[in-house]
Chains A and B, each alone.
Chain A
Amino acid sequence: MGELTVEDMMNRFGLELIAGHAGIHKQIQMSDISRPGLEMAGYFDYYPAERVQLIGRKEMSFLETLPAITRRKRLERLCSVDTPAFIIAHGEEGPRELSQLAEEKNIPVLRTDYKTTQFSGMLTNYLVGQLAPMTTVHGVLVDVYGVGVLITGGSGVGKSETALELIKKGHRLVADDSVEIRQVSDNVLIGTSPKLLKHMLEIRGVGIIDLMTLFGASSVKDDKRVLLAVDLEIWDDKKHYDRLGIDEEKVEILDSQITKLSVPVRPGRNIAVIIEVAAMDYRMKRLGINAAEEFTKRLDQAIADNAELLDEEERD
């Protein structure tokens, strides 16, 4: 589970703090958002206090219809200790009582200029992404022809060097050395770089380089869906490597399965080119063109034809 504070959310959307400054380090645990209209009308049975509470124009104009005492009572109940924050849409101030009560209970009240529904969508996407299950993988994530390729392998096998060559060929780096992978939905893994390492690449003998300054904005990407894992390993004569590509190997990251290739490394094998081809072949397979399968069919047909010839010869 990722960790997310109200302050992170404020920074992401440029929200303005109206009250409750003391609570900006509160954690947000739920990706769902609540619009507390029914609660304002007095129905608190299923009040999801632990969600971010989003207040739009409708809720505000309804509050104004309530007698002052009722309004205060209900707003008091809304200000639960579990509530991470209130957000007022349309750039409005929101009810004064809410700011006062929230200030007392250290719940931040924030303001956005966006419309309620629009902001609700943006916020949900953001929260789902941030609160999704997360893991960190030792490897390099590169966007190759639109396919997110996660290059893994032991230390010193040449992951970063391979990435550098891919970038020189016009592909884009997402993360070097440590890739943060979030599962945003079933079988959808999104990889990003830890903030500190963003755009950086470490090359033995040279040190840390900044790709953005060296190669420009086209050489980097902030996040990318991970579709293919390529595991680099030092060539082992005793090991059998896939020659046909008929069987797809999978690797499990979080709860998702992704296609994995084991690529042996040895002098004279240009790994960057192999990864480019692997990414293109992966795309072709997803488009329904499977070279290995086509070839197998062709071979099976040829064998069947030859078997028939043999039968005929025997009969003669």
Chain B
Amino acid sequence: MVEKTVKVGIKPGLQARQAALFVQEANKYTADIYLKKDNRQVNAKSIMGIMSLAIAKGTEITLITDGIDEDLALQNLADLVEVEQ
């Protein structure tokens, strides 16, 4: 299991479409993937879970991956949300 804390760079945040893209990316990996904001943790492969957090640009989130492709998943998903827009 690996984890990484990143600052969301997507503007203005993870709105519906961006959340859908994020979940679509997360579903490409076999590893279990979680996303944590403050003390709430959701399954990153579930779109409703991600959207329930209403993540704004500048929010610090922690990505947690666990599985064979955990490193790749962590790297790519972190890049996806960190990118400044």
A interface residue numbers (CB < 8 A to B): 240, 243-244, 246, 292, 295-296, 299-300, 302-307, 310
B interface residue numbers (CB < 8 A to A): 12-17, 20, 23-24, 47, 51, 54-59
14 residue pairs A–B, Cβ–Cβ below 8 Å: A243-B47, A244-B20, A246-B16, A296-B16, A299-B15, A299-B54, A303-B12, A303-B15, A303-B54, A303-B55, A305-B54, A307-B13, A307-B57, A307-B58
CB distance from A121 to the nearest CB of B (A): 49
* Given contacts A243-B47, A244-B47, A299-B51, A306 and B13 within 8 Å (CB-CB): yes
Q: How distant is the Cα of A292 from the Cα of B13 in the complex, in angstroms? A: 18
Given contacts A295-B16, A299-B16, 18 further A-B contacts (CB under 8 A): A240-B24, A244-B16, A246-B16, A246-B17, A299-B15, A299-B54, A300-B12, A300-B15, A303-B12, A303-B13, A303-B56, A304-B12, A304-B56, A306-B55, A307-B12, A307-B56, A307-B58, A310-B58
**Closest CB pairs A-B (n = 8):** A302-B54, A307-B56, A303-B13, A306-B56, A296-B16, A303-B56, A310-B58, A243-B47
CB atoms of B56 and A310 under 8 A apart: yes
Using CB atoms, name the residue of chain B closest to A305: B54
Q: How distant is the Cα of A131 from the Cα of B15 in the complex, in angstroms? A: 49
Number of contacts between A and B (CB, 8 Å)? 44
Q: How distant is the Cα of A240 from the Cα of B14 in the complex, in angstroms? A: 18
Using CB atoms, name the residue of chain B closest to A292: B16
CB distance from A290 to the nearest CB of B (A): 13
CB atoms of A243 and B56 under 8 A apart: no
CB distance from B84 to the nearest CB of A (A): 15
CB atoms of B16 and A306 under 8 A apart: no
Using CB atoms, name the residue of chain A closest to B48: A243
With a cutoff of 8 Å between Cβ atoms, the chain A residues found around residue B12 in the complex are: 300, 303-304, 307
With a cutoff of 8 Å between Cβ atoms, the chain A residues found around residue B23 in the complex are: 243
With a cutoff of 8 Å between Cβ atoms, the chain B residues found around residue A307 in the complex are: 12-13, 56-58
Using CB atoms, name the residue of chain B closest to A307: B56
CB atoms of A303 and B14 under 8 A apart: yes
Q: How distant is the Cα of A244 from the Cα of B23 in the complex, in angstroms? A: 12
Which of B13, B20, B54, B57 touches A243 (beta carbons < 8 Å)?
A: B20
With a cutoff of 8 Å between Cβ atoms, the chain B residues found around residue A240 in the complex are: 24
Using CB atoms, name the residue of chain B closest to A314: B58
